[in-house]
Structure 1
């Protein structure tokens, strides 16, 4: 029986996703009809992204799963009309992009590249940076992205501590959990990477009290979620030197408003939410595989736990 797959991820995404989704459906052997509109009671699956075409999921009574193109689901998970299974995007290409962004900026700050590349005083200071083994890195969040980034940095020689709400074990990382573990993880960090999901529990997790736990002059990288850090507390910590620099890829409001203090602060680097962008070719294969699994009666991949919010 032909399955109707409704692409409800926004008109702007359709041209880039359509050929890849069709190719992925063919490769998976799916008998699927890909459409941008149909009667609500005829949609078997919904490909979704925030800002797309659906706000009320109640009329989609035949829908077997809502398949998000985003790794984060905080903008949809609380929708009371969404009773269908919801799957977030976990894509090897998305993970690779995040690993490359995190590793690149960790090395940038570790090696002092800004000081050497932008050097208007033309100072000649041959003092080398410490080796990676002498630069402790802490990663908050040990999901798919956090684990991959932590292991990549450990492979480069950095001592990496990972923290999560519940206990985890990740090869090559010192893993901590709970409130005491968070204090210990922050206390050891010269570079802090935040990769937690956006939930009520993680909102402003990095506040003034927790910034004070970092080693003085520590660097913060936030490619996770804009809500993880208290902006005002971060700016104050940058001004006092408690935090040496912040490289931020995500923000509470995006695009970042032109009058936001982050733009002008000399110790802040802004990147435009590029650390882990979903790529149509690989994401389409994940979508196709989940539809295949659903039709075969197999468990869906990356199904969201509504109680946890991710």
Structure 2
């Protein structure tokens, strides 16, 4: 059997040894050295060219290097009959939770205000807010969202979660469905978006949603750039409806130099690095996925394409 690794942003020098160690009985090939396409049983990929996966005649399954699959579903020739598995691995989850907690604390402790004071050489204490008085809302309660909720609860924040289907998470209020979204938003001083990108969630972070948040709320988008209408965010910041935002994902990446988000004093921009897959732990996770598929089982992260995640 052969596995093909293809990514333009992840370094094969780190991935190939990890995959070979985790899959000692499988040949690992690195794009663009595909060899005979008929040899490829599994493809571990990020942003493959349109039509490429369909050109592998004996492909058994498609494995996404990231937690998102929109880089694959954009392909009109995607072999939709094949199992599609998104990345579920402890390093990715831990990294995302670190970033979410860090940014929640950053906004909670008003670090943007202290940075502004520093630039003016102002020595002034700002009124503190206890964590149990700060209401954090997490949109998306899958593997990443649920772990972030657990850690925020441990820090004694007042945490709620919202998802398409009902979830139960210890220490957090859980809301579900469009009918409960307004109540969830109304109690979210800091809103974290960890939703998958689907037709239903595209552009969900818009003017109408921002208007339902408490005045002076913060928004943290670590889902997908397509979740956010950037002009609506800028307008809400200008009007004071939003206090600040952290954005790690954008509709156009890299973020164009002319974007006003780069220089906005109330916006933190990071280059899609909230969480990055760790080759060693990811290779072990993908090896387990392949073993499960070969045995006829259902691996973690198996995507339902009708739902979009």
TM-score bracket for the superposition, by shorter chain length: over 0.9
2:32 is the alignment partner of 1:34: no
CA shift digits 1:30-79 (9 cap, x unpaired) = x21112312222211111111x4663323323211111111100121253
DSSP 3-state at the match of 1:161: strand
8 Å contact kept, 2:91–2:278:
yes
DSSP 3-state at the match of 2:235: helix
TM-aligned CA deviation for residue 183 of structure 1: 0.5
Decide which moves more: 33-42 or 208-217. Answer: 33-42
Q: What is the rounded CA distance, in whole Å, between the counterparts of 1:126 and 1:49 in structure 2?
A: 46
Q: What is the rounded CA distance, in whole Å, between the counterparts of 2:306 and 2:219 in structure 1?
A: 29
2:54 is the alignment partner of 1:58: yes
Determine the structure 1 residue equivalent to 2:270. 271
Change in Cα spacing, 1:11 to 1:91, as seen in structure 2 (3 Å) is closer
2:43 is the alignment partner of 1:49: no
CA shift digits 1:58-117 (9 cap, x unpaired) = 332321111111110012125333132111101111110111111111111111123234
TM normalised by structure 1 equals: 0.93
Determine the structure 2 residue equivalent to 1:67. 63
> Structure 2: which 5+ residue stretches go unaligned?
none
8 Å contact kept, 2:112–2:266:
no
8 Å contact kept, 2:3–2:43:
yes
TM normalised by structure 2 equals: 0.93
Determine the structure 2 residue equivalent to 1:135. 134
Determine the structure 2 residue equivalent to 1:114. 112
Determine the structure 2 residue equivalent to 1:92. 90
> Structure 1: which 5+ residue stretches go unaligned?
none
Q: What is the rounded CA distance, in whole Å, between the counterparts of 2:10 and 2:242 in structure 1?
A: 39
8 Å contact kept, 1:42–1:62:
yes
Q: What is the rounded CA distance, in whole Å, between the counterparts of 1:224 and 1:96 in structure 2?
A: 15
Q: What is the rounded CA distance, in whole Å, between the counterparts of 1:76 and 1:196 in structure 2?
A: 17
Q: What is the rounded CA distance, in whole Å, between the counterparts of 1:45 and 1:107 in structure 2?
A: 41
Q: What is the rounded CA distance, in whole Å, between the counterparts of 1:19 and 1:280 in structure 2?
A: 9
Determine the structure 1 residue equivalent to 2:185. 186
TM-aligned CA deviation for residue 180 of structure 1: 2.5
Determine the structure 2 residue equivalent to 1:173. 172
Aligned residues: 303
Q: What is the rounded CA distance, in whole Å, between the counterparts of 1:5 and 1:121 in structure 2?
A: 56
Determine the structure 2 residue equivalent to 1:81. 78
Determine the structure 1 residue equivalent to 2:230. 231
TM superposition outliers: structure 1 runs of 4+ over 6 Å: none
Q: What is the rounded CA distance, in whole Å, between the counterparts of 2:4 and 2:153 in structure 1?
A: 42
Determine the structure 1 residue equivalent to 2:3. 5
8 Å contact kept, 2:161–2:174:
yes
